Chain A
């Protein structure tokens, strides 16, 4: 299966210009970051690579990433003023141009934090507004920001995966795609599950209570 499936990946998104990969894609990566962190963000640091590093000012990639962090959509006309909105909300923002070699020309590494927590992810804007999250807190993964998804950090133990899939089955939630990564045998592992629908709070609570589950994050479509 190719990376592009929906006709609306091609005829769309509806967006504020000027660049689908540098503006709309950046908004989506910012939004994914916000959903994954799921807490108040006090500080955002964006490391920009490749074409992102060279042209972010002209394309509004900086405003777009922060617009996403603020939860705006790709067609939100507030995008253009996102930096001042972030400032008003007390979010400190920093951009770093990094010229190290990266596999994809439009790559960003975003670090978000508050007093108690920290999250770091790497996103790629692969064209036409489509994005992929390829790294999360040191785990490699393959997550398109285009479907609802849950990310489950768990202990690499027998039954951890079964306990999650059993809950999803019980609530009749269909899994579109699933991937499991771990740093080492028996250590922390990460399940990436793309779903056909957003999950209800009830399901989320059940998942959080499941065996061997350490942490859960939702990406809402």
Chain B
């Protein structure tokens, strides 16, 4: 069992096993399940993620019309141009956007760790899989690794915007993805932890300020950029860059920042982008439409 990232890394080093396998073992032990039970359930989560990406890339539109169609644009650009940020990075962006556009359209997604942050993990995974020659099994294991880090965050801080702001949602999601990319690329457990820390540190203080209270603006694009950051952080960690502040301290800093964050910045739609003139106008238009429907 592990309660902190430190314990998780020590356990992985001690047993000389992947973080993904530790997570699977823990799940088996806790619920008295077989390896196949645990693995196949995660495989079905992967299928939902894949379907959401496909649907988003075909083009969806939310009920309000605030979001939708950007995944298609990015994907078209990606095939017709050589993106400045590189094909993998922009592929992750298009797939994260695709997922969150489907979510905003009340489509089916897998929360990772939340629905509002559901784009980061699959966006990153489906963008790096070919480059890292990942098998289907490797992809399922990627999700277990993200889950291991996510569990630590959820139990020592928070993962919802309503409790801790966007740093807790997209911050956690992108950091979880970064850690799993490192493992998939053959990095050490310690490098996974550094990638996690590097990502979350850059997300500290990020507020949750959805326009009209909807998981659309700016959530979709924050997932996109969170996904890109996960890949950059993973590269930094694989290059040997370390986080000066240990991961558990970064998580606890995120917790304390979230606790002191004013309620206006915790999914209440009272601050930040939601409180801009345009944000307020959109909210008014959307809700007057709803009541006249």
User: Which residues of the other chain, A, contact B229 by a CB distance below 8 angstroms?
Assistant: none
Within 8 A of B (CB), among A29-53: 50-51
- The answer to whether A106 and B30 have CB atoms under 8 Å apart is no
Q: How distant is the Cα of A105 from the Cα of B269 in the complex, in angstroms?
A: 13
Within 8 A of B (CB), among A44-86: 50-51, 54-55, 57-60, 75, 77, 79-80
**A15 in the interface (beta carbon within 8 A):** yes
**B112 in the interface (beta carbon within 8 A):** yes
Q: Which one of B105, B111, B151, B269 lies within 8 Å of A24 (CB-CB)?
A: B111
**A148 in the interface (beta carbon within 8 A):** no
- The answer to whether B214 and A59 have CB atoms under 8 Å apart is yes
Closest to B41 in A: A8
Q: How distant is the Cα of A128 from the Cα of B108 in the complex, in angstroms?
A: 15
Q: Which one of A3, A4, A19, A77 lies within 8 Å of B215 (CB-CB)?
A: A19
**A7 in the interface (beta carbon within 8 A):** yes
Closest CB in chain A relative to B262 CB, distance in Å:
12
Of A4, A5, A20, A23, which is in contact with the most chain B CB atoms at under 10 Å from its CB? A20
Closest to B115 in A: A20
Q: How distant is the Cα of A16 from the Cα of B51 in the complex, in angstroms?
A: 13
- The answer to whether A21 and B162 have CB atoms under 8 Å apart is yes
**A9 in the interface (beta carbon within 8 A):** yes
1/0 per residue, CB under 8 A from B, across A91-128: the answer is: 00000000000000110000000000000000000111
Closest CB in chain B relative to A175 CB, distance in Å:
14
Closest to B114 in A: A20
Q: Which one of B109, B148, B160, B268 lies within 8 Å of A7 (CB-CB)?
A: B148
User: Which residues of the other chain, A, contact B287 by a CB distance below 8 angstroms?
Assistant: 57
Q: How distant is the Cα of A16 from the Cα of B102 in the complex, in angstroms?
A: 9
Closest CB in chain B relative to A197 CB, distance in Å:
11
Q: Which one of B32, B41, B113 lies within 8 Å of A10 (CB-CB)?
A: B113
- The answer to whether B160 and A127 have CB atoms under 8 Å apart is yes
Closest to B269 in A: A55
Closest to B268 in A: A54
**B204 in the interface (beta carbon within 8 A):** no
- The answer to whether B106 and A79 have CB atoms under 8 Å apart is yes
1/0 per residue, CB under 8 A from A, across B131-159: the answer is: 00000000000011011101100111011
- The answer to whether A14 and B48 have CB atoms under 8 Å apart is yes
**A129 in the interface (beta carbon within 8 A):** yes
User: Which residues of the other chain, A, contact B156 by a CB distance below 8 angstroms?
Assistant: 2
Q: Which one of A7, A10, A19 lies within 8 Å of B115 (CB-CB)?
A: A19
Closest to B103 in A: A17
1/0 per residue, CB under 8 A from A, across B40-59: the answer is: 01101100100000000000
- The answer to whether A18 and B155 have CB atoms under 8 Å apart is no
- The answer to whether B107 and A16 have CB atoms under 8 Å apart is yes
- The answer to whether B109 and A14 have CB atoms under 8 Å apart is yes
* Given A21-B162, A58-B212: A127 in contact with B150 (beta carbons within 8 A): no
1/0 per residue, CB under 8 A from A, across B210-250: the answer is: 10111110000000000000000000000000000000000
Chain B: residues with CB nearer than 8 A to chain A?
Answer: 3, 23, 26-27, 30-32, 38, 41-42, 44-45, 48, 62, 102-116, 118, 121, 143-144, 146-148, 150-151, 154-156, 158-160, 162-163, 168, 176, 210, 212-216, 263, 266-270, 286-287, 290
Given A18-B115, A105-B263, list of 7 further CB < 8 A pairs? Answer: A5-B30, A11-B111, A14-B109, A17-B107, A17-B115, A55-B269, A105-B267
